[in-house]
Amino acid sequence: MKIKNLKETVKEYRYEILFGAILIVYFFNLFIDVMEVDAAQYAEISMEMSFTKNFLHIFQQGQDYLDKPPLLFWLSSVSMIILGISSFAYKLPSVLIALLGIYSTFRFARIYYSKEKSMLAALILASSQALFLITNDIRTDTALLGLVMFSVWQLSEYLIQPKWKHLVLASIAIGGAMMAKGPIALIIPAAAFGTDLFLKRQWKNIFKPQWIILLIIVAITLIPMSWGLYTQYDLHPEKTVYGLHGPSGLRFFYWTQSFGRITGENYWQNDAGYFFFFHSILWDFQPWVLLFIPALILRIRKIILQKFRSGNQEEYISLGGFVLVFFALSLSKYKLPHYIFVLFPFASIMAADFIYELKGRLQSRISKVQFGIMQLFWLLILVDFIFFFPPKNPVLPTVLALMFACNIYLFRNLKGTVERIFLPTLVTAIGFNLLMGLNFYPNLLSYQSTSQAGRMMHADNIPAGKIYCYKQSDCSFDFYAKRLTPTVDSVTIKKLKPGTWVYLNGLDLPEIRRNNIPYQEVKVFPSFKVTALELPFLYAKTRSQSLKSDYLIEIQ
């Protein structure tokens, strides 16, 4: 009787249990070291802001910083002031906003779809590789996703029940999202709702005068950031930043940083091909991408057959928001995979709708294909345990073995139900990322020598003025040392007093020797660029051949 009651309870609260398991993975991600280059840079800038309390102007190691908007730095610096400097404090505000985005995805979907579809959409988003990544490797896209999706939910509520609170909240969210990433935060809702309203021929809603109020509130929200940019750059045309003489902070933020990537005005260019995002989404939206692709194709086909018209009860906000922005971002001359993560709430909704509409033989076939693909993730877990980073205790392997058994049990016992497709998939996604958060990333980042050395500086309480970095100070070194570390070059190092410590790249050690600088090795740190993985490094037996060495030396 007790076992029966337990099974009924698990069945009744299965979605809540799955969300809880995902939250546990997110929680573990909060404690993983920040990775070079971007996340470590943002963490260091936030730390520096917590020192200076200058929230209007952004600096990195005392130099003007003109790249990302300030929201991430504001939130993380305040978090560090309250909680102290740590990975947890840096990541927490962004992860909370990501949770807001997941909840907003559910609430937005619930306006147009059943509770089951809406819940699945939120679960798909929460369990995608993209969300597991950006709750670990925190960048500006984490807050962007959460705030944009919150604005989409509030705008949807406003169009159904035109209450001012929804318009105001949507406006503030768009302004906040623009301070997280830029004008893309305004473009996404405009593309999403513009598509939907056009297909429904709701011209009155397209030309609502209230949209002017929305833009005014957005502009008011942007005043602190705009004033900071103006006073840091536009009032100082004598400045040179990143090779740009007298840059306008306002023009850079509102045009160059976003649209300049399409026109070629932005100095950041990696010439990624037009189909870059078509490739990157194949991993970033795992384990759901093969369910999303047909969902997208069928939705596009449907609107074509309807001659680009839709009924008032249909929802094409997701389609317009995803397709138009996806292709716009594909025009950029500088692309990175996480640029499209903000579109994944829309992809999740379309995938959830597709899954719940599957029937009969097609449902059975897709469930088998999806289950087969999921077993590849379990194979990767086994490969990691055997060849890459063997576990040091049996707890994690035991938990994952139980989850694997659960995955098999669900597939075998849910025949003829739509849950046969997504429940084993969810269990697999959670299990795989539990491995990543508790085994793979912690072991991998033990070879990020800069964070290890910085942590040692803090633990040993090395006083200011006794430790320097040679030629450049790495962001993660400063962050884990919990202070800004001055640098020396080949000339100034000769003036250091005996007993001073210097941290340097192993490639620079021969230069120290050629300059006849007396020193003693204090510690050698095995080093590898953890964002550029190679199989010889991952394979435990050949790893030592791929490692470089960084050094902490003491001047004699």
Residue 2: its pLDDT value, please? 63
Of 445, 467, 498, which marks where a domain is finished? 445
Of 308, 326, 356, which marks where a domain is finished? 356
**Residue 368 and residue 349 share a domain:** no
The pLDDT tens digits for 34-79 are: 998 889 999 999 999 999 999 999 999 888 888 899 999 999 999 9
**Residue 240 and residue 123 share a domain:** yes
Which percentage of the chain shows pLDDT scores above 90? 70
Contact 218, 186 (CB under 8 A): yes
6 in a structural domain = no
Residue 266: its pLDDT value, please? 56
303 in a structural domain = yes
Of 325, 356, 387, which marks where a domain is finished? 356
Q: What is the DSSP string of 188-252?
A: HHHHHHHHHHHHTT-HHHHT-THHHHHHHHHHHHTHHHHHHHIIIIIT-TT-EETTEES--HHHI
Q: What CA–CA distance (Å, rounded) separates 138 from 43?
A: 9
Please enumerate in sequence order all residues whose Cβ is within 8 A of that of 187, keeping only pairs 6 or more positions apart, or say none: 325, 328
Supply φ then ψ for residue 519, to 5 degrees: -155, 165
CA quadruple 438, 440, 441, 443: dihedral, nearest 10: 100
Q: What CA–CA distance (Å, rounded) separates 139 from 151?
A: 20
**Residue 316 and residue 234 share a domain:** yes
> What's the pTM?
0.93
Residue 1: its pLDDT value, please? 46
8 in a structural domain = no
4 in a structural domain = no
Give the mean pLDDT of 210-233: 94
**Residue 411 and residue 543 share a domain:** no
Q: What CA–CA distance (Å, rounded) separates 245 from 218?
A: 30
Residue 270: its pLDDT value, please? 58
5 in a structural domain = no
**Residue 382 and residue 344 share a domain:** no
Q: Which two tokens stand for residue 124?
A: 């798909």
**Residue 227 and residue 341 share a domain:** yes
Supply φ then ψ for residue 467, to 5 degrees: -130, 135
The pLDDT tens digits for 5-27 are: 777 887 788 899 999 999 999 99
Q: What CA–CA distance (Å, rounded) separates 26 from 141?
A: 16
**Residue 161 and residue 93 share a domain:** yes
List residues bridging with 526 in a β-sheet.
549
**Residue 233 and residue 205 share a domain:** yes
7 in a structural domain = no
The pLDDT tens digits for 443-462 are: 999 999 999 999 999 988 88
The pLDDT tens digits for 249-302 are: 888 888 877 776 665 555 556 567 788 899 999 999 999 999 999 999 999 999
**Residue 363 and residue 328 share a domain:** no
Give the mean pLDDT of 336-346: 93
105 in a structural domain = yes
**Residue 474 and residue 391 share a domain:** no
458 in a structural domain = yes
DSSP collapsed to 3 states, 317-354 = HHHHHHHHHHHHHHCCCCCCHHHHHHHHHHHHHHHHHH
DSSP collapsed to 3 states, 107-151 = HHHHHHCCHHHHHHHHHHHHCCHHHHHHCCCCCHHHHHHHHHHHH
Q: How confident is the model at residue 465 (pLDDT cuts 50, 70, 90)?
A: confident
Query: How many domains does the chain divide into?
Result: 3
**Residue 48 and residue 180 share a domain:** yes
Please enumerate in sequence order all residues whose Cβ is within 8 A of that of 234, keeping only pairs 6 or more positions apart, or say none: 248, 249, 250
**Residue 509 and residue 441 share a domain:** no
Q: Which domain holds residue 465?
A: 449-555
